[in-house]
A and B are shown apart, each in its own frame.
Chain A
């Protein structure tokens, strides 16, 4: 795991705690199976991803698996940033 992903995951943990009011025990916690991320949280998350990471998510590019865990969301953000800079 790179330092970039580590810090991204830490930022996401804070975002979940502060903005969504949800504690996430570990980057691999299954957000969907544990009910930590639902449709209401998802809407807020999209707003925050744009605000904090400048990432405008197109729904058509999104799969359920991208939001399975903080690790998956971090990987998704990294991948989208890379795609944008090329």
Chain B
């Protein structure tokens, strides 16, 4: 029998139905609750015509209902596609169109986005909504079913036909040409990481695990399925707490979390506001981060105050599923300049640092980082061209399907065998853990029709958000624009984390001798804390 992601929940529900599986604010769901509710949803979806391999989009706030929906979709042999609930309508529409699907499961504070999508008669004709919450659906949306209908369906698990090689979910990441790319991840992809991580971290049923990243973020699949595989308890962190660092710390304390996993910016934010006390979080056993570089000064802050926890850097792009390498920091760094390695490959993975001819570079030299192994996605959803560009045959291998993924990251391997990340080979930046293609922002700005020229560059900052997105622009003649008006206009096309935070107006953008926009010069101009508005 295939071992699918939902089977971990089924197994816990059989052995320990009353054990806590999920906590969110004042609510607590047991493994029994999760199993029964997701079985019902799967049966309903099947009856509504959802077929094996169908894509079901989730436009839903982080909540227990959304976790149930994830399991329900998997049990219906379909793939879930978690969309950013804060996504502008235009961007959500692009992702939904790419999925070529019918069903959207929605819930929480998504009213304006949902109503915006269904304002198009064509969209309304070809799509149907299932409303996950007990509260009434937003105005202007007529759901095909809602939460109250679930009770009439059997609580028994439906028969599944999927195998481990089938898709479990599609995650969208920023695309340089302006269209987000859908990364398809299989059940087997997620399993190989969880089956390495649970024994490595020693996760058990007594663990209380944070669910900090948003659900459209690939790190969240580790929180969810890592918890369920160990029969532990997942504590979803309400997204609004991200505004207030002391509230994040309070949640770790009050819920007695044993594991915290987030992008570095959340840890850095708590350090910046100094909300961690000496010897704080006595229950906390491990702190994990992934998505970008965790500045060493903030790591030292954490390791000094929480000396009883272990600290692990995980590394890996969405295309290679959650993480491909790890490095558990052995002792608190003595210097703020110390570079924390991305470490060694997780079981079943291989990290290769290669030159342009795909030969391994000698120790200490810079090359491009490639990943080979069981975590590699089959590719971008219905985009063979982009898939072929990023997933290459393993040099010299005659085995079909033996592939490597080109990360676009620059790296070196030390004499100690540890891999170190050195930056990007292209114009992708990381901001608060999000991968952002600067080209997608430029495309959206050009589409406004108010600018003659624009260029977007990323500038490293000393602050907790990592990279500041900076926009240099030249307005069209006779057009009055301000940074605030540009930001407001482009916010209809881009999510908030992609909006530039620094702006400079020019009469003409600086050019290099061969007539290209001089991005190096622009970075210098933005490097001091350039004003965000006149």
Contacts and interface: CB of A to CB of B under 8 A. Distances in A.
Interface residues of B, number: 34
A22 B485 CA distance: 8
Given A17-B484, A21-B501, A33 B109 contact: yes
B242 A39 contact: yes
Interface in B490-524: 491, 495-497, 501, 503
Interface string A21-57: 1110000000011111111101100000000000000
B241 A18 contact: no
A19 B533 contact: yes
A20 B242 CA distance: 18
Contact of A39 (B246, B265, B488, B491): B265
Contact of A64 (B244, B273, B464, B532): B244
B275 A19 contact: no
A52 B331 CA distance: 44
Contacts of A39: 242-243, 245, 265, 269, 432, 464-465
Give the size category of A's interface with B. 20 to 34
A60 interface: yes
B243 A37 contact: yes
B517 to A, nearest CB: 22
A42 B243 contact: yes
A62 interface: yes
B408 interface: no
Contact of B242 (A17, A21, A38): A38
Contacts of B337: none
A31 B532 CA distance: 19
A18 B532 CA distance: 8
A83 interface: no
A4 interface: no
With a 10 A CB-CB cut-off, give which of A18, A63, A67 has the most chain B CB atoms.
Answer: A18
Contacts of A67: 243
A3 interface: no
Given A21-B487, A33-B109, A59 B246 contact: yes
Nearest to B266: A39
Given A17-B533, A19-B533, A35-B86, A64 B465 contact: no
Contacts of A35: 86, 491, 495-497
A39 B275 CA distance: 15
Contacts of B247: 64
A45 B497 CA distance: 17
A18 B503 CA distance: 12
Contacts of A37: 243
Nearest to A25: B488
B426 interface: no
B527 to A, nearest CB: 17
Interface in B78-132: 86, 109
B158 interface: no
A12 B265 CA distance: 27
B401 to A, nearest CB: 41
Interface in B404-462: 432
A21 B269 contact: no
Contacts of B86: 33-35
B360 interface: no
Given A17-B533, A32-B240, A40 B487 contact: no
Given A32-B240, A33-B109, A40 B465 contact: yes
Given A33-B109, A35-B496, A39-B243, A23 B464 contact: no
B178 interface: no
A21 B530 CA distance: 13
Contact of A21 (B272, B273, B532): B532
5 contacts: A20-B532, A32-B240, A38-B242, A38-B496, A39-B265
Interface of B: 86, 109, 240-247, 265, 269, 272-273, 275, 432, 463-465, 482-485, 487-488, 491, 495-497, 501, 503, 532-534
